[in-house]
Amino acid sequence: VNVGFCVLGIIVMATTNSLMWTFFSRGLGFSMSSAIASVTVTFSNVLSSAFLGFVLYGECQEVLWWGGVFLILCGLTLIHRELPPPRKALPHKQQ
């Protein structure tokens, strides 16, 4: 019975990872930049892990865990944000 559950777990993990990469690739195709797809995939992975951990194992995540998730998402957003174009220097007046 244990071996059967291990094999089933590996099959489910491979299937869900394949689906995640498929949706990520399609999201990159539809998105103007990789930022939106990257942040969305990261956020959905974290939320699905928390949800499945609660449903399957009865885990409740602590506030510190959610704080870490929030900081990771803030970091991803900062890394992938678009910066305004740099200003051109004003030409110096010749005297």
Domain boundaries, the chain: 1-82
Mean pLDDT of 3-12: 88
**H/E element, 81:** none
Other beta carbons less than 10 A from residue 54's beta carbon = 12
Least confident of 38-42, 74-78, 89-93: 89-93
- Comparing 25-39, 42-56, 57-71, the range with the smallest average pLDDT is 25-39
pLDDT for position 63: 93
Map tokens 């010749």 to a residue: 94
Supply the angle between the helices 2-30 and 34-57 in degrees, to the nearest 10.
Answer: 160
Report residue 92's pLDDT band, with 50, 70 and 90 as the boundaries.
Answer: low
Backbone φ, ψ for residue 84 (5° rounding): -65, 150
pTM for the model stands at 0.56
Q: Is the pLDDT of residue 54 over 80?
A: yes
Residue 66: both structure tokens together? 């959610």
Residue 52 has a CB neighbour count (10 Å cut-off) of: 12
Q: Is the pLDDT of residue 45 over 70?
A: yes
